[in-house]
């Protein structure tokens, strides 16, 4: 994809992606904790948002994050069958299967949104996921689609 019409401050040179990770309290957040406690290194590009359960995540969070300029969004929860609330992640799986497919359909790059499972005991997997997602998003470059650019538009008008 082209990087020419990127908003200021988002030059691809030296650019580091901003990734929003929305994770459930019981599994993935604990997995992230474990990664920290075990001193496993992973890229510093993610901002973690903790929610009780993936089933609680309004798909709008993902879309809002993209609109607000996140270069990538990760959603992660307990593995199927291990949900603290029994089936919250199974409801989430249906929502996110259709959400991701619909985002891809309108032309959002596949690597912008990632859905996965990380359990409380998988500190290593958490680090791997963050590494993988960061690489995917880096390869895509800064996000431009669905992104709100009002400020940049105002600057352009002023010029």
Partner 1 sequence: MEKVEKKLREEAKKLLADKKVDVIVGYEAGTLPLTATPVFITTPEEADKLVWNPFCQHNLAKYVHDLISAHKESQKRLKPDDRKRKVVGVVTKGCTSRSLVIHLQERQYERLDISILGVPCTGYADRRKLAAKLGGEDILEGTLEGANLKIKTASGEKTVALKDVLAGNCVTCRFNNPVISDMMLGEPAPAMNPAAEYAEIDEFEKLSPEERWAYFEKEMAKCIRCAACRQACPSCYCKVCFAEQSMPQWVGISEDPSDTQVFQFMRMYHMVGRCVDCGSCVSVCPMGVDLRKFLKKLDKDCFVLFNQRAGEKVDFPAPLQDQRMDDKEEFIYSPGGGH
- Residue ranges that bind partner 1, judged by CB under 8 A: 1, 59-60, 63-64, 67, 80-81, 87, 90-91, 93-102, 104-110, 114-117, 125, 128-129, 131-133, 145-150, 153
C-beta closer to partner 1: residue 14 or 80: 80
C-beta closer to partner 1: residue 47 or 60: 60
- Helices marked H in 9-58 — which ranges? 28-37
Find, among 109, 27, 97, the residue nearest to 66 by Cα: 109
- Residue 151's CB: how many other CB atoms inside 10 A? 10
C-beta closer to partner 1: residue 50 or 145: 145
C-beta closer to partner 1: residue 14 or 47: 47
- The H-or-E segment that residue 98 falls in is helix 88-105
- Residue 125's CB: how many other CB atoms inside 10 A? 19
Tell how far CA 48 is from the center of its chain.
9
C-beta closer to partner 1: residue 12 or 149: 149
Shortest distance (Å) from residue 18 CB to partner 1: 17
Residue 21 burial (C-beta neighbours within 10 Å; 0-12, 13-18, 19+): buried
Shortest distance (Å) from residue 33 CB to partner 1: 18
Shortest distance (Å) from residue 64 CB to partner 1: 7
Find, among 136, 101, 130, 100, the residue nearest to 118 by Cα: 130
Token pair of 89 as six digits:
């992640």
């Amino acid at each position: 994809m082209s990087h020419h019409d990127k908003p200021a401050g988002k030059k691809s040179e030296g650019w580091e992606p901003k990734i929003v990770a929305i994770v459930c309290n019981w599994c993935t957040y604990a997995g992230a904790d474990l990664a920290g406690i075990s001193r496993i290194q992973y890229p510093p590009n993610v901002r973690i948002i903790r929610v009780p359960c993936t089933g609680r995540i309004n798909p709008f969070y993902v879309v809002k994050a993209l609109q607000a300029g996140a270069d990538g969004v990760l959603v992660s929860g307990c593995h199927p069958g291990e949900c603290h609330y029994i089936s919250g992640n199974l409801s989430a799986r249906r929502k996110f299967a259709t959400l991701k497919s619909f985002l891809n359909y309108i032309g959002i790059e596949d690597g912008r949104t990632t859905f996965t499972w990380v359990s409380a005991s998988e500190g290593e997997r958490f680090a791997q996921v963050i590494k993988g997602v960061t690489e995917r998003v880096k390869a895509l470059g800064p996000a431009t689609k669905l992104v709100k650019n009002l400020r940049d538009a105002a600057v352009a008008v002023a010029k």
